[in-house]
Structure 1
Amino acid sequence: MARFDILVHIRRYEGDSLAAGVAFALARRLDAYVSGLYVASLGTVAYSTLETVVFQVQEADEIYHSALAQGESWTQRIGAAGVKGEWLVAQGEPVEAICHAARWHDLVVAERPQLNADAPVGWGLVSRTVFGAGVPVVVVPETTKTADAGERVVIAWNHSREAARAIHGALPLLRQAKEVLVLDGVEQTSLVGARHLPALDLAACFARHGVKAQFRPFEATGNYGAGILEAAHAATADLIVMGAWGHSRIAELVLGGATRHLFQHSDVPLFVAH
């Protein structure tokens, strides 16, 4: 009986998939059921002329049925990886399809192109999935060197709602991790205007949940994202847990931010929540 459900977005069903490799590694740690999702996109139909839309829909239908036929191949792949799961295919706008399927999963795994990004950081497929999925997302950079994830974890803790959501979603992984390092950053200023708010004692929370972690004060001298990535490299981490888009996407695009930097430059998978 599976204790966790993972949805992995498969961009190309031919050949190997970094996202699938990471999903399989996480599934083995979590005793999880892995659903592979391929989306036959209809994204350009809305901008097509009447003369071409019929051909585009026909082509999309052919891709959809071709993808459906990959179910047996997926069964073989998950069997070889030592996990259980199923093959899902959708047709339509990819983010809508992923967020729809995420409703009955605990975690989404998605590969993010970095060399040929599909859109500016904050507006691409993976960024929009983080906003819309309603569950944490593991962002797999295409520069990731290994599919192993969850053995050595670095947590970027700035006491924000987003970081707390990411940590809460990662608890099953953190219990299984060999090493957990918490970069204990400066608490964000509350915008609520309330006084004497109770503080979250993360160390005590981890003790209650059976997570063994080391805490290290963290205050980057410049770019916070670069500082987090440097600390992750120093700890040989294979996963970074963090909140995503603590500021608006516009603010991060204009002013920069940790999420934007790590989405652009990290070679370590990111376990994020918004």
Structure 2
Amino acid sequence: MANFDILVHVRRYEGESLAATVALTLAQRLQAHLLGLYVAALGSVAYSTLETVVFQVQEADDLYETALAQRDVWEKRLAANGVAGEWLVAQGEPVEAICHAARWCDLIVAERPQLTADAPIGWGTVSRTVFGAGIPVVVVPETAKPTSVGERVIIAWNHSREAARAISGALPVLRLAKQILVLDGAEQQSLVGARHLPQLDLAVYFARHGVAAEFRPFTPTSEYGANILSNAHTMAADLIVMGAWGHSRIAELVLGGSTRYLFQHSDVPLFVAH
């Protein structure tokens, strides 16, 4: 029986879904229960006439029913990959639907468009899901070509709350990894003025949780995101684990940041938490 639940947002039920492929790979590795979620769009009724609203609602209902009928296709794909799961369909705003379904799951997998990047500064579908879901999210860039997921992992460790949450959520994946490299960066300074706070020794924490990892000091003077991605490419990593938005989205809009950079430029799936 599965003791880990993965929710994957399926943006298109026709043809191949990159997010579904990554989610299936993770579900196989973790022996997880995989829930596929398609959200049928409900068109805006602003400035619409009554006749137009009636037509839009009927069209949305038809799309919802068509999506429901994809259950057999999804179940056949699960069976072909030896994965247990189910097919869910919602109607309306994607982030609200994803965050609702995430309440009984441990991990979300979502594909992020790159050519029409929807979240360069933190207000797109995937980034709003990271903020609202309350559980980690595997962000799959549209440009990713993963042949494996979670075998060679790079961890961006800056001692922040967000990074710690990502690492904790990724433990089931990390225990099965063949290679893990921790980029051990500078500790963030506390903003509350507390002194003598106990610190997490990540190496000891990993040893206690059955995770083997190599630690490497990480002290770039600039371009943190680009340096993380460069290290990932060098080791042929298939997953980057990191905290998301340790600074506010406004700060990242004005100043930039590693989250913003990697959401825009990474071709490696990102395991993130906020």
Q: TM-score range by the shorter chain?
A: over 0.9
* Counterpart residue identity of residue 250, structure 1: I
Residues 1:196 and 2:188 are matched in the alignment: no
Runs of 4+ in 1 over 4 A off after TM superposition: none
CA–CA separation in structure 1 for the residues paired with 2:204 and 2:118? 41
> Alpha-carbon deviation of 1:82?
1.9
> Alpha-carbon deviation of 1:50?
3.3
- Quickly say closer, same or farther: Cα 1:202–1:46, change in 2 above 3 A: farther
CA–CA separation in structure 1 for the residues paired with 2:46 and 2:87? 28
* Counterpart residue identity of residue 108, structure 1: I
CA–CA separation in structure 2 for the residues paired with 1:110 and 1:43? 22
CA–CA separation in structure 1 for the residues paired with 2:168 and 2:97? 25
**Partners of 1:18 and 1:147 within 8 A in 2:** no
Matching of residues 88-237 of structure 1 within 5 Å? 88-118=88-118, 120-237=120-237
When normalised by structure 1's length, the TM-score is: 0.98
* Counterpart residue identity of residue 156, structure 2: A
* Counterpart residue identity of residue 217, structure 1: P
* Counterpart residue identity of residue 218, structure 2: F
Deviations, residues 171-201 of structure 1 (Å, cap 9, x unaligned): 0110000011100001111101000000100
CA–CA separation in structure 1 for the residues paired with 2:149 and 2:51? 48
Residues 1:62 and 2:62 are matched in the alignment: yes
> Alpha-carbon deviation of 1:46?
4.4
> Alpha-carbon deviation of 1:129?
0.2
**Partners of 2:119 and 2:127 within 8 A in 1:** no
Deviations, residues 75-117 of structure 1 (Å, cap 9, x unaligned): 0111112211100000011100000000000000000001112
**Partners of 1:152 and 1:180 within 8 A in 2:** yes
**Partners of 1:152 and 1:236 within 8 A in 2:** yes
Q: Could you tell me which residue of structure 1 aligns to residue 6 of structure 2? A: 6
Two-structure CA RMSD over aligned residues (Å): 1.1
Unaligned 5+ segments in structure 1 are: none
Unaligned 5+ segments in structure 2 are: none
How many residues were matched structurally?
A: 274
**Partners of 2:119 and 2:126 within 8 A in 1:** no
* Counterpart residue identity of residue 268, structure 1: V
